[in-house]
């Protein structure tokens, strides 16, 4: 099950609730809480990802705050590798490195502990988030991983919002796997 059939993708996609006009008018929000709340769908997804990444020789799985934590931590436990969180500013208690990224009207920032991959030279990392829209947060996360000399072997997203991004630049930096597309 290293790749999913169209029927399997449809099954997962149907488990995600869409909410119109949230958090503001004109936005279609993909609510993954219905997927993680469906034990069959969630376990099916985790089985698929565990099989896909079983032979990657991963040292760490990195999840982006906050929904990325759900998938990254669960998969890290299944694969028996360490989980590393990338968080919004001032959420981590130890020394951090940070990376700013552009928003439509301004900037935001993400942080990671400076020693997140300590003890593992050239750590092999998988980056996971629930979805990729414009890609700003994901690019910032890749920058943080690169600052530590670790190697992001792939970035995995449950859902790619094709209308909002072009994965071209992003895929030149690392391999990209999107389970679903919308």
132-162 burial, b for 16+ CB within 10 Å, e for fewer?
A: bbebbbbbbbbbbbeebebebbbbbbbbbbe
Secondary structure (DSSP) of 128-147: EEEEESS-HHHHHHHHHHHH
Nearest 10 degrees: Cα torsion 96, 67, 41, 132: -100
Which of 7, 40, 80, 104 is the catalytic position?
Answer: 104
Distance CA 116, CA 112 (A): 7
Q: Which residue has the tokens 């008018």?
A: 25
| Spatial separation of the C-alpha atoms in residues 1 and 166, rounded to whole Å | 27
Give CA separation, 182 vs 47, 59, 65, 90, in Å.
22, 31, 21, 33
> How far apart are alpha carbons 96 and 111 in whole angstroms?
6
Q: Is 67 a catalytic residue?
A: yes
Is 104 a residue of the active site?
Answer: yes
Catalytic residues: 67, 104
């Amino acid at each position: 099950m290293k790749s999913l059939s169209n029927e399997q993708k449809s099954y997962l996609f149907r488990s995600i609730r869409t909410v119109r006009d949230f958090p503001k008018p004109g936005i279609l929000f993909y609510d993954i809480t219905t997927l993680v709340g469906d034990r069959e769908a969630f376990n099916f997804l985790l089985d698929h990802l565990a099989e896909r990444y079983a032979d990657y020789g991963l040292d760490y799985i990195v999840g982006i705050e906050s929904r990325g934590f759900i998938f990254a931590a669960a998969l890290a436990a299944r694969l028996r590798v360490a989980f590393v969180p990338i968080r919004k500013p001032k959420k981590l208690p130890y020394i951090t490195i940070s990376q700013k990224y552009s928003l439509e009207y301004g900037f935001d920032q993400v942080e990671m502990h400076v020693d997140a991959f300590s003890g593992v030279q050239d750590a092999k990392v998988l980056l996971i988030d629930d979805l990729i829209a414009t890609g700003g947060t994901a690019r910032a996360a890749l920058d943080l991983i690169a600052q530590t000399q670790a190697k992001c072997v792939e970035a995995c997203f449950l859902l790619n919002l094709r209308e909002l991004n072009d994965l071209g630049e992003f895929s030149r930096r690392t391999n990209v796997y999107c389970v679903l597309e919308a």
